[in-house]
Amino acid sequence: MATNKHTTREKTTNTFYFNLLANGSYIDLSTVHHVEMHMMDKQKTTYRYSSLDSSPAVAIFDATEGKVSFTPPSETTFLYVRSPYRIYWQVWETSSKKYSVPEDVYFEIEILQEY
C-alpha cells in the first residue's frame, strides 16, 4: 500500500487514492466486476460505496497498478466529530465472488477540525 493512513481537513471533497496489494504486489483490477469501499466512523456508523453506483464515489483509477479512488460525495462526508474513519475494500471478481483488501489492517482517514 502506498499508505494506510490519510489525514485531511473536515468538509473536504478532495479525491483519495489507495493501492490495493496482495502479498506485497499490486492487485490487477483489469478484469474485476467492480470494487466497493466499506467505511466505518468512530461512532460505528457504516457507509458503503460501489463503482456500480449511479453516481459512483469510488472508481478503479489504474487497474494494472491496483489503484482505486474515492471522492467524497459531499462536504458532510468527513466530519471531525466522527473521525477517524476505518476503510477496507471489497474486490468483486464476478457478481457473486469477492475478497477484502486489506485483510489484516484497515486503511484510515483522520480528519482535522475546521474552524
Tens of pLDDT, residue by residue over 65-110, are: 999 999 999 999 999 999 999 999 999 999 999 999 988 889 999 9
| Mean per-residue pLDDT over the chain, rounded | 94
pLDDT confidence tier of residue 18, bands split at 50, 70 and 90:
very high
Asked if 89 contacts 101 with a C-beta cutoff of 8 angstroms, the reply is yes
Tens of pLDDT, residue by residue over 41-51, are: 999 999 999 99
Give the residue extent of every domain in the chain: 5-112
Asked if 92 contacts 32 with a C-beta cutoff of 8 angstroms, the reply is yes
* CA separation for the pair 112, 9 (Å, rounded): 5
Please, what CATH class does the domain formed by 5-112 belong to? Answer: mainly beta
Residue ranges with strand state E in the chain: 5-9, 16-19, 21-22, 25-26, 34-40, 46-50, 58-62, 67-70, 85-92, 98-101, 107-112
Q: Which helix (H) or strand (E) is 2 found in, with range?
A: none
This prediction's pTM: 0.91
* CA separation for the pair 39, 26 (Å, rounded): 21
